[in-house]
Amino acid sequence: MVDTLLLYGSESGMTEDIADQVSYKLLHNKIDHVISSFDDIDIEKYAPLFKSEVYKNIIIISSTAGQGELPLNIRTSELWNFFKTNELNFSNTSFYFLGVGDSLYLKFQHAIRLLKLRICDRFNGNFKLKMEIDVTGMKGDGSTDQVLPVFIKQLVNQLSDTEEYINDKVFISKGILLKLSDSAEANFQASFNKKNPYWFESEVLMNNRLTNEDYHTDIRQVVLNNKFKYQFSPGDTISIRPQNDHACINKFFELQPHLKQYRFTNVLMQDDEQKTYQTLEDILRYEVDLKSVPKRNFFMRIWNFQSMKKQNVNFEVIHDMDSYKPTNIVLDNDFEDKEELETLNSHKRKLFEFGHSLDPYDYIEYVVQPRRTILEILFDFEYIKIPFAYMLQILPKIKERQYSISSSDLSSQNFEITAKVVEYETLLLEKRKGLCTNYIKRLTPGNKIKIKLNSLNLWDKLEEPIMQGAESIILIGPGVGIAPIKSFCDNDDYTMFNKYVYFGNRNKDMDYIYESFWENPKRSDIIMRKCFSRDGGEERYVQDMLWNDKALIFDLVVNQNAIVYICGSSGQMPTQVKLTFIEIIKTIGNDENAEQYVNEMIKFNRYIQETW
């Protein structure tokens, strides 16, 4: 039995990509293993394996979420709860850790250090290696490009008993296989629905545009039926899993015509865990993110699946590592069109470099900066022929997106979410459109969709500051960052707080979202401050308002122990806001230890930051 387990925790997808790159290199170094996110582990199956120490090597890769928290797919997983509530002995198990973080956050790499403490150290595990990636490259062991090759090399040195490397031309099959199915035995069910019992059906009750119809930015207020009367709190989120539209699926078959014959065919999806059945059309609609910007692992696998337009792709595949023996694939090189053959080979070299080169510059320039999608890459590299059986091992899967609840369960029994429809232009001709927000945009009342409620217990962090006498809270939420703040202000449990709300957007007449709520004269507990960057006023950004209110802010924070909550995009705003608080305390209080003061606020949950 395989004795190596690779677990990962990820929210943005970056850590999942890194875990996938590690898995690829392990396989090609003949190190067989199981790879899984924390929340995909079936605890009924794996609990006996952990207790009997079947896995002699456990590799854990994790990012840090929020202010030093574990990623959502770790902290809400059955596996994490199992580790917290059981006494285990891992004295015969070796542990390897890789943290992915951003040193701009105070609690840099807190999650991976917590995982080491709670799993390896607590259960007497055999600690072998821990490395830390800083995506900004300033702290830890270095940037991704510096750390990842070293981490992989050390893993291989410790886990492999051979120096043999399986050629990158060989495709090692691991994951879901597609097979043509006899419709008589098919029991059709979307695979993600079967795997995720926490998802439930909800009816769309309302889908309103909050911004002016003439404005280029579309922000949506969507109300979803809470028919099961689930309780929720400010800071909780709703997960939505989007779908590809018909035009997108048509484009895929246009670019991959060899797969057209299977479009409406019944397909068996099979892995080690389960069997499910769908048509290929539905697999593309519900499972594959055709509009995503691919990670490097996509190119690591796709580069060799190319051939002349009238030829099949010849490739070597491994299903069983133990029985692998190198074979020679005989390629037909008798081509009349030598120029086309050279173009094909050039395409192979380019895609190989995108996935395997130690210098990611070309990948960043071609893929990341213009936000080039899977479909556009299939168009540019017309020799690509994705093999039917291995589609779901090559193409990225649709991932859930989370949206903050902007209502309160005390004022509304339903879920209200606020979503900015992502549409923007790059150097490419076609406008970039977010898969999920444009899916949300198309929803109409009466539509039924699958959703999941994520209880993040954000406001439980307020308990300690409240016990210390905090009676005021400064709430800072530019753009759609105002959503959880609206939920907080709409909740009768927090009427005792004086709420100082700082909201910013671009134009008052165009995108002052939920204006009637904020301007309600009956809400004496809300002190509303707003600014609009394109209206020409002195105050353009939330940090400008904070600075102009510096005497008030200093009094609230230093003298009254006020709580600070920030929500919004993780660009310059969170950094600028934090610097503004430091400068206010330094200036008004003549305190050279202002930065340490703010860091202490973060440590004791008086300064809470939720950004994405």
pLDDT of residue 530: 96
Give 335's pLDDT tier (boundaries 50, 70, 90).
Answer: low
Please give the pLDDT value at position 367.
96
Where is the domain boundary, 147, 165, 183? 165
- Write the burial class of residue 247 (CB in 10 Å: 0-12 exposed, 13-18 middle, 19+ buried): exposed
3-state DSSP: the chain helix, strand, coil percent, rounded to 5? 40, 20, 40
Whether the CB-CB separation of 370 and 428 falls below 8 Å is answered with yes
- On whether both 362 and 414 belong to a single domain, the answer is no
Indicate the range of 206-215, 298-307, 324-333 predicted with least confidence: 324-333
* Over residues 492-507, mean pLDDT: 91
* pLDDT score of 325: 74
Lowest mean pLDDT, pick from 129-143, 386-400, 547-561: 129-143
> Do both 307 and 379 map to the same domain?
yes
pLDDT score, position 189: 54
Q: Which of 29, 436, 532, 526 is nearest to 220 (CA)?
A: 436
pLDDT in tens, 141-173: 888 999 999 999 999 999 998 888 999 999 999
What is the largest distance, in Å, between two alpha-carbon atoms of the chain? 83
Task: Give the pLDDT of residue 185.
Answer: 52
Q: Would you place residue 533 in the very low, low, confident or very high pLDDT band (cuts 50, 70, 90)?
A: very high
Task: Band the pLDDT of 353: cuts 50, 70, 90.
Answer: very high
In this predicted structure, the answer to whether residue 326 has a pLDDT above a threshold of 80 is: no
% of the chain beyond a pLDDT of 70: 95
Residues contacting residue 31 through CB under 8 Å, at least 6 positions apart: 4, 155, 156, 159, 160
According to the model, what pLDDT value does residue 331 have?
Answer: 53
Answer yes or no: do 13 and 161 share one domain.
Answer: yes
> Is the confidence at residue 83, as pLDDT, over 90?
yes
- The one-character DSSP state at 260 is G
Q: In terms of Cα–Cα distance, which of 147, 146, 439 is closest to 289?
A: 439
Q: How far apart are CA 579 and CA 583, in angstroms?
A: 6
Q: Let me know whether 279 and 138 are in one domain.
A: no
**Is residue 136 in a domain?**
yes
Give the bridge partners for 415, in sequence order: 224
Q: Is the pLDDT at 229 greater than 70, yes or no?
A: yes
* 531 and 507 inside one domain: yes
Task: Please give the tally of structural domains in the chain.
Answer: 4
User: Residues 610, 66: contact at Cβ < 8 Å?
Assistant: yes
**Per-residue confidence at 1, pLDDT binned at 50, 70, 90?**
confident
Is residue 283 predicted with pLDDT exceeding 90?
Answer: yes
Q: Is 186 within the bounds of a domain? A: no
Residue 9 reports pLDDT greater than 70: yes
Asked whether residue 189 is domain-assigned, the answer is no
What average pLDDT does range 479-486 have in this prediction?
96
Q: What is the CATH number of the domain that holds 436?
A: 2.40.30.10
* CB neighbourhood size of 57 (10 A): 20
Predicted local distance difference test score (pLDDT) of residue 334? 56
β-bridge partners, 58: 5, 95
Report if residue 170 sits inside a domain: no
Residue 161 shares a structural domain with residue 36 = yes
The arithmetic mean of pLDDT across residues 221-246, rounded, is 95
pLDDT at 538 over 80: yes
Place 532 in a pLDDT band, splitting at 50, 70 and 90: very high
In this model, does residue 182 exceed pLDDT 80? no
For residue 174, being part of any structural domain is answered with: no
Q: Does 484 lie in the same domain as 583?
A: yes
Confidence of residue 496 (pLDDT cuts 50, 70, 90): confident
The two structure tokens encoding residue 332: 């037909």
- The mean pLDDT value for 222-233 works out to 94
Among 346-350, 433-437, 494-498, where is mean pLDDT lowest? 494-498
Q: Is residue 76 part of a domain?
A: yes
**Is 421 or 140 the better-scoring residue by pLDDT?**
421
Residue 517 Rama label (left phi>0; alpha psi -120 to 50; beta): alpha
Q: Is the confidence at residue 609, as pLDDT, over 70?
A: yes
Token pair for 607: 């300064």
Closest CA to 546 of 559, 531, 561: 531
Span 183-195, average pLDDT: 52
461 vs 549: which has the higher pLDDT: 549
Is residue 185 included in any domain, yes or no? no
447 and 473 housed in the same domain: no
Mean pLDDT across the stretch 381-403? 95
Residue 101 sits in the same domain as residue 75:
yes
List the domain range (segments joined by +) for residue 554: 458-611
Q: Is 477 helix (H, G, I), strand (E, B) or coil?
A: coil
pLDDT at residue number 187:
54
| Nearest of 472, 439, 428 to residue 606 by alpha carbon | 472
- Separation of alpha carbons 113 and 121, rounded Å: 10
CATH number of the domain where residue 255 is located: 1.20.990.10
Q: Angle, to 10 degrees, between the axis of helix 14-28 and the axis of helix 144-159?
A: 40
User: What's the CA gap between 41 and 63, in Å, rounded?
Assistant: 18
Mark which of 394, 417, 437 sits at the end of a domain: 394
Closest CA to 518 of 510, 528, 508, 507: 528
Residues 449 and 464 in one domain: no
Q: Compute the average pLDDT of residues 343-347.
A: 95
Q: Are 416 and 405 in contact (CB under 8 A)?
A: yes
| Mean pLDDT, rounded, of the chain | 91
**Residue 126: CATH number of its domain:** 3.40.50.360
Specify whether 36 is located in the same domain as 48: yes
249 assigned to some structural domain = yes
Q: Assess whether 382 and 263 both reside in one domain.
A: yes
Q: What pLDDT, on a 0 to 100 scale, did the predictor assign at position 204?
A: 98
Q: Is the pLDDT of residue 512 over 70?
A: yes
